Amino acid sequence: MKKASLKDIAESLGVSKALVSLVLNGKGDERGINRQTQEK
């Protein structure tokens, strides 16, 4: 099974790779990313 890349995750959720990276690194709240978006 292939590991999911940031690009794969971002495309499946309809968001940017940068947003996925910020959330995975725990910086979503400090950057003002909506809680519902982070939970996606």
Each residue of 17-32: pLDDT tens digit?
999 999 999 999 999 9
pTM of the model: 0.81
Contacts of 29 (CB under 8 A, 6+ apart): 35, 38
Task: Examine the pLDDT at 12 and tell me if it is beyond 90.
Answer: yes
pLDDT in the model for residue 1: 84
The alpha carbon dihedral of 33, 35, 36, 40 has a sign of positive
Q: What is the mean pLDDT of the chain?
A: 94
Task: Give ∠ CA 25-12-35 in degrees, rounded to 5.
Answer: 45
* CA dist., res. 35 & res. 31, Å (int): 11
Give the other-Cβ count within 10 Å of 36's Cβ.
Answer: 7
